[in-house]
Structure 1
Amino acid sequence: MTADIVLVDDQPLVRAGLRVLVADSDDLRVVGEAGTGGDAVALVAELRPDVVVMDIRMPGMDGIEATRMITGSCDARVAVLTTFDDDEYVYAALRAGASGFLVKDMALDDILAGIRVIARGEALLAPRVTSTLIRDFVGAPQRSTARVLDGITARECEVLELVARGLSNAEIAERLFISMATAKAHVGSLLTKLDARDRVQLVILAYEAGLVPR
Structure 2
Amino acid sequence: MNIKPNRRVPLAAAALLAGALLLTACGSGGGHDAHNAAPAATAATPAVSGKAYNAADVAFAQGMIPHHRQALEMAELATTRAASPEVKQLAAAIRAAQDPEIATMSGWLTGWGEQVPQPGAAGAHAGHGGVAGMMTEAELASLKDATGAAFDTAFLKLMVAHHTGAVEMAKAEQGKGGYAPAKELAGAVISGQSAEIEQMNKLLR
Per the shorter chain, which TM-score range? Answer: under 0.3
- Bigger proportion of residues as helix: 2
- Bigger proportion of residues as strand: 1
Larger Cα-atom Rg: 2
TM-score of the two chains, using structure 2 as the length reference: 0.26
User: Larger relative CO (CA 8 A, sep 6+): 1 or 2?
Assistant: 2
